[in-house]
Amino acid sequence: MSDTPLPQGATIGILGGGQLGRMLSVAASRLGFKTHIFEPGAAPPAGQVAHRVTTALYEDDAALTAFAHGVDVITYEFENIPTSALDTLSALRPIRPGREALRVSQDRLTEKDFLSDLGLAVAPYADIPNAAALAAALGRIGTPAILKTRRFGYDGKGQARIMTPDEADAALADMAGAPAILEGFVDFTHEVSVIAARGLTGEVACFDPGQNVHEGGILRTTTVPADLTSAQRQDAVLLAGRILTALDYVGVMGVELFVTKAGLIVNEIAPRVHNSGHWTQNGCAIDQFEQHIRAVAGWPLGDGSRYADVVMENLIGADMDRVPALSQERDLALHLYGKAEVKPGRKMGHVNRIIRP
């Protein structure tokens, strides 16, 4: 049954109960699927709109097994799932996207090697097992540069900038002994991302690239259409297609790109729906969440056509105070995540502004 489209009423298991799992759950419901969320934390946002929730640790083999038996296919909202959990789950049900995508994207060094081997341009980088390697890499790559933990980094966490070589020791200390990678700075004009999808039968469909603005390491806005030439737009789609096909990927992937005078440079990939694709909820008949569900359910992909220009803005921490005013703006769609507690830097929701011609 794993290669035939999931029928109405089938259940999709989702690892992770945050806002991405929540929006995946809503999209699954539009296609007539039920969802079952697996999440260690209590009262996950996704649980408010899911058919079932399992609250258990990724180390709880019995809970994982019961979860797998209760679903038809398994997907996830985040890439840092422990390998032991994946071993248990993948023996029982298909996991989509597959393990190769997780293996590659869970480690920044592996990911950079993978992208380089595909012939794609990436920032200069070096494996940093120790201080000597860092000194050597800084000699080769120069400053400014950025030291990052190889694993478990997101939204600017686990990163240290090195503006001059004498900051090297402090940056390495910030890694707290974790394996690290040094990345050189790229002289880019702006960042865009491609939300790309690949179906079970190998077809690829990309949404229009969006242009991203970050603040403090966290995505602030995504604007479509992005400022790209027609050639750059095609390059972006073609390189995303190469990445997905090389991984025999099934699902939606976020591919972040730096736009430079010399061409597009791949910043990073995320094997899941992506914050920079939230605009699709109000610009396309089929959004990134439904596209992902279609792929993992073995359905045909939607074509990803865009019928409106959109600016997506994240609501972070105290931005929630703006909700009463935002709720009165014309052509503005609110998407709040139902998180109980507002914290600084916490993604609480986003808005999509429709831009009329």
Residue 175 CA to residue 169 CA, distance in Å, equals 10
Residue linked to tokens 């890694």: 175
214 labelled ligand-binding? yes
Residue 271 or 298: the one with the smaller Cβ distance to a copy of itself is 298
Residues 72, 7: Cα–Cα separation, whole Å = 10
Among 96, 148, 278, 294, binds a copy of itself (CB under 8 A): 294
Q: Annotated binding residue at 191?
A: yes
Containing 160, the helix (H) or strand (E) segment is: strand 159-162
Q: Which stretch binds a copy of itself (CB under 8 A): 149-157, 179-187, 208-216, 332-340?
A: 332-340
Smallest separation, CB 332 to a copy of itself (Å): 6
Beta-bridge partner residues of 162: 145
SS3 168: helix
With vertex at residue 155, the alpha carbon angle to CA 18 and CA 165, rounded to the nearest 5 degrees, is 160
Q: Which of 238, 305, 318, 345 touches a copy of itself by CB under 8 A?
A: 305
| Piece in contact with a copy of itself (CB under 8 A), picked from 1-9, 173-181, 241-249, 269-277 | 1-9
* Cα–Cα dist 83/14, whole Å: 16
Neighbouring-strand partners of residue 284:
306
Provide the 3-class DSSP secondary structure of residue 299.
coil
Structure tokens belonging to residue 246: 């090389």
Question: Minimum Å distance from CB 317 to a copy of itself?
Answer: 13
Among 1, 163, 262, 285, binds a copy of itself (CB under 8 A): 285
φ, ψ of residue 82 to 5 degrees: the values are: -60, 140
Q: Which of 24, 2, 11, 19 is nearest to 287 (CA)?
A: 24
Residue pair 221/355 in contact by the 8 Å Cβ criterion = no
Q: Which of 144, 156, 300, 345 binds a copy of itself (CB under 8 A)?
A: 300
Smaller CB distance to a copy of itself: residue 246 or 354?
A: 354
3-state secondary structure of 130: coil
Tell whether residue 99 is a contact of a copy of itself (CB under 8 A). Answer: no
CA dist., res. 301 & res. 303, Å (int): 6
Give the interface segment with a copy of itself, choosing from 56-64, 217-225, 269-277, 335-343 (CB under 8 A).
335-343
Number of residues that bind a copy of itself (CB under 8 A): 48
Tell me: is residue 9 an annotated ligand-binding position. no
Would you say 216 is a known binding-site residue? no
Annotated binding site: 108, 148, 153-159, 183-186, 191, 214, 267-268
Binding site for a copy of itself (CB under 8 A): 5, 8-9, 22, 25-26, 29-35, 47-51, 282, 285-286, 294, 299-300, 302-303, 305, 307-308, 320, 323-324, 327-328, 330-338, 340, 349, 352, 354, 356
Residues placed in the known binding site for ATP: 108, 148, 153-159, 183-186, 191, 214, 267-268
